[in-house]
Structure 1
Amino acid sequence: MNKRKVGSRHEEQAAAFLEKQGLKILEHNFFRRGGEIDLVAKDGKYLVFVEVKYRATTTSGEAAAAVDFKKQRRISRAAQFYLLRYGYGEPPCRFDVVAIDGDEIQWIRNAFDYCG
């Protein structure tokens, strides 16, 4: 199975997990040149931008550790574009990470701040 298919499968898994936690998934794979947001969701009053990371094993590090500053900056820029594109203004937002290591799912709320 290629990496894109593996990634899509785990993004769907993360979306289902978040929906069970009460979030409403608004969009999958929002793309703009220079960045992508895996999931955009609504959690109460918050608009949530979610990065999904998967690692089959932790031999090369845990999935959450792969969301480094460079990745955070790309996600932040894509989120800014998303807000402008859909006319959201400045709603309360947060950046979450769903890290999947093997069969274990970890949801990290407020994983990082906006990196403009």
Structure 2
Amino acid sequence: MERTAFGREGETLAKTYLEKKGYQFLDRNFRTAHGEIDLIMNDKGTLVFVEVKSRHNRRYGEPVEAVNPLKQKHIRYGARTYITKQRVEDRSIRFDVVEVMIHGSGEIKFRHTRNAF
């Protein structure tokens, strides 16, 4: 599977996973000059900016480790842009990471890190 398609599949799986946990979907692939935010969700009034990391294995480390300080900076910039464009006021925000591990056998595992950074 092409890398972009694999990433999009992981985002779709993460969206469904979070919705089953009670999150409300707001937006997907919000793009700015510095990158994109994979998912934007509402968790009981908190605006949650979600970075999704999809992998087949942990050969190159834990997926959450790929959300390094530079990536975090870009996500924060995107969040500020989203908040400004949507005129969001007086809401708590949070940055989460959802790891989607898709094994060759078809088994899918999730790891959700709230307040990841």
Q: Could you tell me the TM-score, scaled by structure 1's length?
A: 0.93
Contact 1:11–1:38 under 8 Å retained in 2: yes
Q: Quick check: 1:35–1:78 contact (8 Å CA) kept in 2?
A: yes
Residue 48 of structure 2 aligns to a residue whose secondary structure is: strand
Identity value in percent: 38
Shift of 1:98: 0.1
Aligned length: 112
Map residues 32-111 of structure 1 onto 2, 5 A cutoff: 32-102=32-102, 103-111=108-116
Q: Does the Cα contact within 8 Å between 1:14 and 1:52 map onto a contact in 2?
A: yes
Instruction: Look up the SS of the partner of 1:96 in the other structure.
Output: strand
CA distance in 1, matches of 2:16, 2:83: 24
Q: Distance in 1 between matches of 2:98 and 2:17?
A: 9
Farther-moved stretch of structure 1 (55-64 vs 9-18)? 55-64
Kept in 2: contact 1:31–1:78 (CA 8 A): yes
Structure 1 unmatched ranges of 5 or more: none
Question: What do residues 47-77 of structure 1 show as CA deviations (whole Å, max 9, x unaligned)?
Answer: 0000000111111111111111110000000
In the aligned structure 1, how far is the partner of 2:62 from the partner of 2:47? Answer: 26
CA RMSD of aligned residues (A): 0.9
> Which aligned segments of 4 or more residues in structure 1 are displaced greater than 3 angstroms?
none
CA distance in 2, matches of 1:41, 1:21: 11
What is the Cα deviation at residue 107 of structure 1? 0.5
Name stretches of at least 5 consecutive residues in structure 2 with no aligned partner. 103-107
